[in-house]
Structure 1
Amino acid sequence: MSVPEPIVIEELTKYYGDVRGVEDLTFSIEPGEVFGFLGPNGAGKSTAIRVLLGLLRPTSGTARVLGHTVTERTRSVEHRIGYVPGDATIYGNVTGAELLDYFAALSGDERREELLDRFPVPIDRNVKNYSRGNRQKLALVQAFMHDPDLLIMDEPTTGLDPLAQNELYELLLDERERGVTVLFSTHVLSEVRKVCDRVGIIRDGKLVALENIGELLGKSGKIVRLDLVETPDPEELLFDGAIDSSRDEDGYYRLVVTGNFDGLVDVLDDYSLRDLEVEETSLEDVFMQFYGGEPES
C-alpha cells in the first residue's frame, strides 16, 4: 500500500484582495523528509502555511495534507499534525501544565515527559509570566507530545537560546530517522543547512528554486576571491560563466563562477594577480543570487 505524500501543493494561489500572498505555488514533500521552506519575512511562507493548516482558503489551486485537501480535512487528520509558530502567542491565565493537559485531552501526550526533559519550562507557573524563550519551548512540547506524523514549523527557533536551538536541531534529526515529515519554514540560512534534506526558496510569493541542498549549492558554482594590483570596476571582471562580481571591504574582488574557469584565466591575463582563493558556495551565496542583496539573518 503506497503512502500518500504528506504535503502536495499544486498551483496554489492566495490573494488578500489585490495583494498577493502566494501565486502558482507547486511542490510536494516526501514522507520522512525535512523540507526547508526558505525566504525573508513577507515572501509568502506564512501564507502558504496558513493554507496548509486550514486557516485560509485558497483563491485557486489545491493543497493536500496527509492525503486530504485542506478544505475537507477531518479531525482524524488533525491529530496527526503538529504545528509550531514563531514567537508563540499562548493564553496566559493558566499554568504550563494546565495548557499541556488541555491539548493532551484533544490529541494525546505520550511523549510529554521526554520532551519536557529536552525543553524544560516552569510548568507550574502561569504562562503569562514566561519569557519568550519559555513560551517557545512550551509550544515545541505541545506540538511534538502527541507524536504526530507531520510537523509544520513556521520559524520555530524564534526566541530560543543557542542551547535550545541545538536541542531542536537534534530532535528534528531524530524525528527524520523515525520517518516523521517536517516542513521547516525559516529565514535563518545556517539552520537549513544543518537539518534539511531539500529546500524550496520563495520570492514574492513564487517558488524560485526547489532542490536538494547539495545539488543547489553545486549548481551555484564557486566563490573566487582575487587580490589584484590594479583596481578595475568589478563589472570589468565579468565573463561568460561569472554570474556576479563585487569588491569586498578588504579590497578583494569576489566572483561567483559557475564552471567556466577558462574565462577567468582570460580575464586575469589583463591584470597583475597578488592572491587567488577558491571557496565552496554557501547557502547565503545562493540566497543572494535569487534576491540580489544581503540575506536576512
Structure 2
Amino acid sequence: MNVIELHSLTKTYGKSRGITDITFHVEKGEIFGFIGPNGAGKSTTIRTLLSLIHPTSGSATIFGKDCIEFAPEIAKEVGYLPSEVFYYDNMKVMDLLKYSASFYKKDCSKRIKELAEELNLDLSKKIDELSLGNKKKVGIIQGLLHEPKLIILDEPTSGLDPLMQQKFFELLKAENEKGATILFSSHILSEVQRLCDRVAIIKDGKIVQVERISTLKENNHKKIKIEINGEVDPSYFELEGVNNLEMKDQHVSFLFRGNINTVLKKIANIEISNLWIEEPDLEEIFLHYYEKEA
C-alpha cells in the first residue's frame, strides 16, 4: 500500500514558478528522499500535501484519502517538521509541547520526556532562551510526540550540529523500524544517501527522476582518479561515457558510465603511478544529472 500518492500535482503562483505535474508515491514503511536545490519546489509540494495550500490542479492522497477533503483526519496521524520553526517566545518548552500534544487526544508526556532526554533538550527553558539548534529540537519533538504513522520532514537538520544530526538520524531509523513511513526533503545529498531507500529529484518545479538510491549510485557510474607520469593531452580521455573530466598537474579525475574495460585498456597505454576506482557519491551523480538535463 502507498502511504502518499501524488498525481500531476500542480500549484501556480501567477507568473512566479510553483510546481508542475508532480507525480510520485511513497510506499508504506519506506524512507523516501525528496531532493533538489533550494527553490526547486520541495516545500510547495509538502505544503500542498499537508493542505496548508491548495493545488491548482492534480491530486494528492495520504493513507488513500484526499489531502484537502480529509485534512483534519489525516493530520492526527502525521508528524511534520517545517524547514523553519517559529514559536511563542514567552512559553516554556514543556508548556508548548503539552499544548501541541493536546491536539492528539492522548497522553504524550512520557514520550516528550524520552525524546527530550535523547536530544538533550531542557524542557524548563523559555523558547526565547533557546539557540537555533535547540528550537529545531523542539520542532523534532513536536513532530514525533504523538508517534505518527507518517513523518514529513522539510530540511530537518538545518541548525543541528553534526553530533545531534547523527542522533536525529538514529531517532528516525528507530521510528521507521517501529513502522513509521518517512518523507525526507533535503538539499543535502549525503543525508538522503545515508537515510533513504528511494529518492525523487526535483528541479525547477518538476520531477526529473524517481529512483532507488542503490540504482542511482550504481547505474554503472564509476569515479576514476589517475596519477600520471609525464604529460598527457586532455583529449586522450575524451571517451564516450566520460563526464566531469578534470586535469590538474599529474592528476586526472572523471566520472565514467559504461564498460569499465574500455577505460582500463586506454589507461594501459600510458605511464601511471596510481589509480583509484570508486563509487561516486550522490552529489556528483546528481550534479551530472542536472547538467545532462540542462
Partner SS for 2:218 = helix
Amino acid corresponding to residue 53 of structure 2 in structure 1: L
Give, in whole Å, the separation in 2 of the partners of 1:73 and 1:56.
14
Which residue matches 1:257?
256
Equivalent residue number for residue 277 of structure 1: 276
- CA distance in 2 between counterparts of 1:146 and 1:15 reads 33
- Is the contact between residue 50 and residue 71 of structure 2 (CA under 8 Å) also seen in structure 1? no
Rounded to whole Å, the distance in 1 between the matches of 2:7 and 2:276 is 43
Whether the 8 Å contact between 1:150 and 1:182 is mirrored in structure 2 is yes
The answer (yes or no) to whether the contact 1:242–1:257 under 8 Å persists in 2 is yes
Structure 1 residue 23: deviation in Å? 1.3
Classify 1:23/1:186 alpha carbon distance in 2 versus 1 (closer, same or farther; 3 Å): same
Q: Does 1:66 align with 2:63?
A: yes
The 5-angstrom pairing of residues 92-103 of structure 1 reads 92-103=89-100
Number of residue pairs matched by the alignment: 288
Q: TM-score, normalised by structure 2?
A: 0.91
Is 1:232–2:233 an aligned residue pair? yes
Cα pair distance change 1:136/1:220, threshold 3 Å:
farther
8 Å CA contact 1:241–1:263 kept in 2: the answer is: no
- The superposition leaves residues 102-161 of structure 1 with CA deviations (integer Å, 9 ceiling, x where unpaired) of 111111453212111112322222212211011000111111001100000001111112
Task: Specify the alignment match of 1:56 in structure 2.
Answer: 53
Question: Which residue of structure 1 lines up, in the alignment, with residue 213 of structure 2?
Answer: 213
Q: CA deviation at 1:232?
A: 2.1
C-alpha distance in 1 between matches for 2:232 and 2:41? 41
Aligned partner letter, 1:283: L
1:85 is aligned to 82
The 1:121/1:206 distance shift into structure 2, 3 A limit, reads same
* Distance in 2 between residues matched to 1:250 and 1:43, nearest whole Å: 37
CA 1:13–1:250 in 2, change beyond 3 Å: closer, same or farther?
farther
Correspondences of 1:1-297 after superposition (within 5 Å)? 4-107=1-104, 108-110=106-108, 111-228=111-228, 229-233=230-234, 236-247=236-247, 249=248, 251-265=250-264, 267-268=266-267, 271-292=270-291
The alignment yields a C-alpha RMSD, in angstroms, of 2.0
Partner SS, residue 183 of structure 2 = strand
Q: Which amino acid aligns with 1:86?
A: S
**Any conservation in 1 of the 2:201–2:209 contact (CA below 8 Å)?**
yes
For residues 139 and 189 of structure 1, the distance between their equivalents in structure 2, rounded to whole angstroms, comes to 22
Q: Is the 8 A contact 1:87 1:159 kept in 2?
A: no
Tell me, in whole angstroms, the C-alpha distance in 2 between the residues paired with 1:290 and 1:22. Answer: 20
1:268 offset after TM fit, Å?
Answer: 3.8
Gaps of 5+ in 2: none
* Consecutive unaligned residues in structure 1, runs of 5 or more: none
Shift of 1:51: 0.7
User: One-letter code of the match for 1:13?
Assistant: T
Retained in 2: the 8 A contact 1:31–1:181?
yes
